[in-house]
Amino acid sequence: MTVTFKDILEFLKRFPVGMVCVLLSVIVLGCFFLRRSRVDELSTQSRQMEEQGRIVLAELRDATGLPEHCASLSAKTRDLESRLVRASERAHNQQYFYRIESDTGVREISLQAGSGGAGPRKGERRLYSGIGYTVTVVGNYRQIIDFIGRFEGGPRFFRLNSASVSRQGDRNSAGPASPVSLTLNLELLGMP
């Protein structure tokens, strides 16, 4: 049995209401499935927008007092940078050592500006660097301890690379008045 176009038209004429209902059902189901896939996309976008909104609100809530916090950090940075030495101000940097020498009463034997720490690697830019010094002083035990204490409590940041202490003069003389030699190899933190 072969179905021809004429047979189909005759079938449609016999059951017009049923065929219209089937046609409308197919159209409605097609729209439903097309719309459903679009609803999934829109709900995903909606969830992403809600998450971004939550993030922005959290950032706004946490940002209260941000100008005051920024001002506080800027003031602390200025305070820290005031404690740095400048590599170009060599005489001013050496004056720091001379001031500690005169305050403690030790006698400075030598003060040599050395090389700083390891330089930056290729392509690396540092804001701060170490400015190396080697200082040798002679004094009694209390003066040497005071000299070291002035460095530790002083206004400058430093890194002690090496230190050596030796007794000067007669090895048999003991006591707090016997001379002691101190050699410090250190780096003051500074700006290049």
Share of residues in the chain with pLDDT > 70 (%):
90
Asked if 111 contacts 94 with a C-beta cutoff of 8 angstroms, the reply is yes
Mean pLDDT of the 119-127 span: 63
Return d(Cα 100, Cα 189) in angstroms, integer: 17
Structure tokens at 60: 């706004």
Return d(Cα 14, Cα 20) in angstroms, integer: 12
Asked if 159 contacts 122 with a C-beta cutoff of 8 angstroms, the reply is no
Return d(Cα 186, Cα 162) in angstroms, integer: 7
pLDDT value at position 186? 92
β-bridge mates for residue 107, sequence order: 138
Mean pLDDT of the 11-38 span: 84
Residue 137 banded pLDDT, cuts 50, 70, 90:
very high
176 or 109, greater pLDDT: 109
Q: Is the pLDDT of residue 10 over 70?
A: yes
Return d(Cα 121, Cα 50) in angstroms, integer: 45
Strands (E), 99-154: 107-113, 129-139
Return d(Cα 53, Cα 57) in angstroms, integer: 6
User: For 149-164, what is each residue's pLDDT tens digit?
Assistant: 998 998 999 999 999 9
Q: Is the pLDDT of residue 48 over 90?
A: yes
Residue 123 banded pLDDT, cuts 50, 70, 90:
low
User: For 55-101, what is each residue's pLDDT tens digit?
Assistant: 888 878 877 777 888 899 999 999 988 889 988 888 888 899 999 99
pLDDT value at position 62? 77
Average model confidence (pLDDT) across the chain = 84
pLDDT value at position 139? 92
Q: Is beta strand 85-86 parallel, antiparallel or unpaired with respect to 107-113? A: unpaired
How big, in percent rounded to 5, are the helix, strand and coil portions of the chain?
55, 20, 25
3-class DSSP state of 190: strand
